[in-house]
Amino acid sequence: MHILVAGFQHETNTFAPSLAGYENFVRGEGFPAMVRGEDMLALREVNIPAGGFINAALAQGHTVRTVIWAGASPSAHVTRDAYERIAGEILDAARAGPYDAVYLDLHGAMVAQHLDDGEGELLARMREIVGPDVPVIASLDLHANVTAQMLQAADGLAAFRTYPHVDMADTGKHAARLLQARIAAGDGWRRSERRLPFLIPINGMCTMLEPSRGVYDLLAQLEQTPGVASISFAPGFPAADFPECGPVVWAYGTDAGAVERVTETLYQRVLELEPQWSPDFLEPAEAVRRAQALAAGAARPVVIADTQDNPGAGGDANTTGMLRALVEADAQNAALGLFYDPEAVRQATEAGLGKQVRLKLGGQSGVAGDAAFEGEFTVETLSPGKLRFDGPMMNGMDVDLGAVAGLRIGGVRVVVSATKSQMLDRNLFRVGGVQPEEMGILVVKSSVHFRADFQPIAHEVLVAKAPGPMQADPADLPWTRLQPGMRIKPLGRAFSY
């Protein structure tokens, strides 16, 4: 077959402060920078779905027409301009076909300024161009808010099964197998889906922990049922204020009865575990006190997740609650990263290595309880901010942070960057002169992804709720457009207008 391949990824927090414009996708911001045409083939070496799909398709003897891959850090809405320019490029390539199949590397939780359902709209437009007989397959993030339009417009959707997402390339390969199964099934292709009635906090979705780990184990077992080709469970991204936000289970196969049964079995399992999907959180000062006590007798660092400023969920990585808590507690051998503040990097660079500089970090979030942190910092390291990820997530991806300053105040080191990126790889500390394995306390601006590379070195992991744009508890968000009856957290109250 000759297959059109493209990628367009964004996870939209409609409550977040910053929009995603076209330039955000050009830079990538923790994702690969925007690439086109044959340059996309370099993604074969990166742990992303498009790389896995391309490798699988070429191994099966197909040819691919790589169009564009564009992703940007989670934030508020994708601008109309960015959406229409990138989607338009993909759709123009489809019009220039013909193609035997289409594969799209999507996130599944994109909201644009003018569209609630960015992926559903793209898939529907694609379907209109290629017609009913060309298979359209897409891979999705585990945090996809899967809509009816997405399910109807695509022949197959396959979602990640790990969080942290270490199976991204594997999901691309799964999509390639799903494409083969769809073609082999002909008119016998069947689908079933169920929508869960409650929102799940993202910290509760970690597949390294229960209940998520057990649910995905059951999913893998059910997928072995004869007549079933694929099952997916997307717990959703609980920060997108539109009616179809929330968890979905769906399956494909050739035996309609079997497809229905496995979907219902997995749905009921997630439902009966509802009380277990809400994790525990600590206030900043409590998290630091506990970390100091644990670190006193530990040979490995205690890791604290600054979850509500996670740039992987719409935060800007510039809130100061955890930094303030560390300094006020006189924490020693502690490090925090990445802190996004281009102006602070500029001032530190201007001051020079080894110099003292008075800086005002953060203060731009607009979140109640978050204020700028002002203090005297020592400039310990300066770096151009170029690195390659060695950890399980995005392994092999080259990253350009623009510039990085390693700062110290008392016993606390802060890695400050000129470009926003979630702390999901230990090399993001190293680029600022911090050797994470040697620290007593590490504060990471991340919710769960950090666990892939940091949990193996952690004495213990704590999760803190400092003021930030990404509410860790979805019940804390000012919802206005959810589906009436949707519980705004596990066992929480039902939403109503």
Residue whose entry in the numeric block shows the structure tokens 């700028």: 372
Structure tokens at 135: 């298979």
On whether both 188 and 41 belong to a single domain, the answer is yes
Contact 318, 360 (CB under 8 A): no
Q: β-strand 2-9 against 101-106: which pairing, if any?
A: parallel
Does the pLDDT value for residue 30 go beyond 80?
Answer: no
On whether both 14 and 33 belong to a single domain, the answer is yes
Is 496 within a domain?
Answer: no
Does the pLDDT value for residue 341 go beyond 90?
Answer: yes
Is 480 within a domain?
Answer: no
Residue 356 β-bridge partners: 378
Cβ neighbors of 286 (< 8 A, separation 6 or more) are: 464
Strands (E), 196-330: 228-234, 248-253, 302-306
Contact 259, 194 (CB under 8 A): no
Look up the domain containing 362 and give its range.
284-472
Cβ neighbors of 47 (< 8 A, separation 6 or more) are: 166, 168, 169, 392, 393, 394, 395, 396, 397
Give pLDDT tens digits for 436-492: 999 999 999 999 999 999 999 999 999 999 999 888 999 999 999 999 999 999 999
On whether both 243 and 346 belong to a single domain, the answer is no
Is 126 within a domain?
Answer: yes
Is 485 within a domain?
Answer: no
On whether both 368 and 251 belong to a single domain, the answer is no
On whether both 271 and 377 belong to a single domain, the answer is no
**Cα–Cα distance for residue pair 385/27, rounded to 1 Å:** 14
Is 477 within a domain?
Answer: no
On whether both 463 and 326 belong to a single domain, the answer is yes
On whether both 265 and 400 belong to a single domain, the answer is no
Is 44 within a domain?
Answer: yes
Using DSSP's 3-state secondary structure scheme, residue 119 falls into helix
Residue whose entry in the numeric block shows the structure tokens 């596990």: 490
Q: How far is CA 233 from CA 120, 173, 206, in A?
A: 17, 17, 13
Residue 130 phi, psi dihedral angles, 5° rounding: -85, -15
Tell me how far apart the 2 most distant CA atoms of the chain are, in Å: 71
On whether both 464 and 324 belong to a single domain, the answer is yes
Confidence band of 194 (pLDDT split at 50, 70, 90): very high
On whether both 270 and 190 belong to a single domain, the answer is yes
CATH code: domain of residue 150: 3.40.50.2300
Q: What is the mean pLDDT of residues 305-311?
A: 95
Contact 407, 327 (CB under 8 A): no
Is 481 within a domain?
Answer: no
Indicate the number of domains in the chain: 2
Of 219, 241, 276, the one marking the end of a domain is 276
Confidence band of 98 (pLDDT split at 50, 70, 90): very high
Is 429 within a domain?
Answer: yes
Structure tokens at 393: 């997530």
Residue 157 β-bridge partners: 138
